[in-house]
Structure 1
Amino acid sequence: MNDGAIDVSQAGRTDAAHRVTLRRLGSADRDEFLDLVRASADLHRPWVSLPSTPEQYRAYLARYAKPDEESLLVCVRGSGNVAGLVNINSIIRGRFQSASIAYAAFAPSAGRGYMSEGLELVVRYAFEQLRLHRLEAQIQPENEASLKLVRRAGFRYEGLSPELLYIDGAWRDHERWAITSSMIDIAPTPPHATLPER
C-alpha cells in the first residue's frame, strides 16, 4: 500500500472489483495536485476553488492535518493516477457524530465514474472506520454533475440553504444533501467513544 493508503472494505465486492483506492493527501502529492488543479480550472469554476500555489498547498495540508478534517485522494487502481479528492470537513463528535464533505474530480479522469466509486468508499470509511453517523453535502443547485454524484451515492435531499457559502465572489444558495449510517449496508461497529450513553 502507498503511504497514507486507506483500507476500505466494501460489502459484497472483492478488492479486485474496485477501480479506485483512497489515500490521504500528503506533501509528496504537491506537484501532481497543483498540475491537476491547473488542468481542471474550467471544470471547477465556479463550483470549487482549490489551492493553486505551493504556499496555498502548504496551508491546505496544515488544515487537513487537524483531527477534525481529512483530505482523501481518489486514485485509479494500478496506475495510481489521482482522479479526484473528497474532503471530510468539520467532524463533530458527541451527540452529532457528523461531518460535511466536499469533493472535486480532476479533468484528466472526469466522466469515467471514478468519483462515484471514490465517494462510495469515503462514505463507507466515514461510517465504518471514523464511526460517524451522518455526512452532509452542500451543493449549488446549478451544479448538475455534483447533484448526480450524491444521488448515486444514496444521499437524500433535505432542503435549500439560501446564501450559504461565499464562492466565486458571491454568497451562493446551496441544496443540503445527507446520508446516515442507517441508510447503507455497513459492517457493525461500536459507537464512537464520544457518543453519550443516553
Structure 2
Amino acid sequence: MTSTHGTAVPVARGPRVALRELRHEDGEEFTARTRESRELHHPWLFPPDSVKDFARYAGLRVGNPANASLLVCDQDADGAIAGFVNINNIVRGAFLNGTLGYGAFAHAAGRGLMSEALSLVTAYAFGPLGLHRLEANIQPGNAASLALVRRAGFRKEGFSPAMLHVNGEWRDHERWALTAEMPTARAAMAEPHTGA
C-alpha cells in the first residue's frame, strides 16, 4: 500500500488524529483499508473498495462545495488513514445544514479515534464551514454508530421508515442532530484544535 498522506495539509488536528481533505491520490490506501474492513462495515456502509469505484467517489466529492470529505488520519501511525467523515448535502442560506456519513477502518476501530475526529468535525463544521446544524441518519441496529453520536452530544430527533436505500433495500433510520448552540458543539469549538 502506497502512502500519500505525507504532503497533505490538515484542516484540523487533535491529540491523536488529524483531519484532512480527501484527494484523488488516496485511492490505493483508502480502498485497501475498505477491503480490510468489510466485516466491520457490513451491513451498514459500503465505501469504495476498488480504485475504479474510488475514482468515481472522489470525482463527486473533491472540489464539490456541497460536500466536505475528510479523512481521519492517525498521528501515531505517521498519518495513516484511520477512517473518514463526510459532510454531505451541505445547504447554505437559512438552513446551514450538512448530513454526516462516516466510518472507521478495522485497524483503528475501538480506539476512540472516531470520537476525537467527530469533535474536530463539529468544530470545523460550525467554525470555518459556517454551518448551524449537522445531521446523522443511522440504522437502528448500528450500535457503534449510535454510541458515537450519543458521545458527541447529538440529540435524537426522530425515526424515518424506509429512508435510505442501503445494500439493496430501503432501510429505516433514526435521525440525530447537533446544532451550534448545543453545549457539546460549543465545547468542541472552544477546544484548542489546530488547523493547517
The TM tier, using the shorter chain, reads 0.7 to 0.9
Cα distance in structure 1, aligned partners of 2:104 and 2:126: 22
Cα distance in structure 1, aligned partners of 2:7 and 2:71: 12
Match of 2:66 among 54, 65, 68: 68
Deviation at 1:158, TM superposition (A): 0.3
Alignment of 1:166-181 (within 5 A): 166-181=165-180
Paired positions, count = 179
Match of 2:21 among 21, 24, 38: 24
In the alignment, what sits opposite 2:3? none
Cα distance in structure 1, aligned partners of 2:24 and 2:89: 21
Deviation at 1:31, TM superposition (A): 0.8
3-state SS of paired residue (1:182): coil
Instruction: Indicate conservation of the 8 Å contact 1:72/1:86, yes or no.
Output: yes
Cα distance in structure 1, aligned partners of 2:89 and 2:139: 19
Unmatched segments (≥5 aa) in structure 1: 9-14, 188-198
3-state SS of paired residue (1:7): strand
Cα distance in structure 1, aligned partners of 2:140 and 2:9: 34
Deviation at 1:7, TM superposition (A): 3.2
In the alignment, what sits opposite 1:125? 124
Residue by residue over 1:7-58, the C-alpha shift from the partner in whole angstroms, topping out at 9 and shown as x without a partner, is 35xxxxxx5xx11110111122111111100000011111001111111111
How large is the Cα RMSD of the aligned pairs?
1.3
3-state SS of paired residue (1:137): strand
Residue by residue over 1:91-115, the C-alpha shift from the partner in whole angstroms, topping out at 9 and shown as x without a partner, is 0000000010000000011100000
Find runs of 4+ consecutive structure 1 residues off by over 4 angstroms: none
In the alignment, what sits opposite 2:53? 56
Cα distance in structure 1, aligned partners of 2:81 and 2:58: 16
The answer to whether the aligner puts 1:3 opposite 2:8 as a matched pair is yes
Cα distance in structure 2, aligned partners of 1:173 and 1:152: 22
The answer to whether the aligner puts 1:137 opposite 2:136 as a matched pair is yes
Deviation at 1:4, TM superposition (A): 4.0
3-state SS of paired residue (2:103): strand
Cα distance in structure 2, aligned partners of 1:141 and 1:40: 21
In the alignment, what sits opposite 1:193? none
Cα distance in structure 1, aligned partners of 2:69 and 2:129: 13
What one-letter code is carried by the residue in structure 2 that aligns with 1:28? E
Residue by residue over 1:147-184, the C-alpha shift from the partner in whole angstroms, topping out at 9 and shown as x without a partner, is 00000011000010000001111100000000000012
* Structure 2 length-normalised TM: 0.88
Residue by residue over 1:65-88, the C-alpha shift from the partner in whole angstroms, topping out at 9 and shown as x without a partner, is 211111101111142111100000
Instruction: Indicate conservation of the 8 Å contact 1:4/1:25, yes or no.
Output: no
In the alignment, what sits opposite 1:194? none
Identity of aligned residues (%): 50
Cα distance in structure 2, aligned partners of 1:170 and 1:7: 36
Instruction: Indicate conservation of the 8 Å contact 1:2/1:23, yes or no.
Output: no
Deviation at 1:2, TM superposition (A): 3.8
3-state SS of paired residue (2:25): helix
The answer to whether the aligner puts 1:44 opposite 2:41 as a matched pair is yes
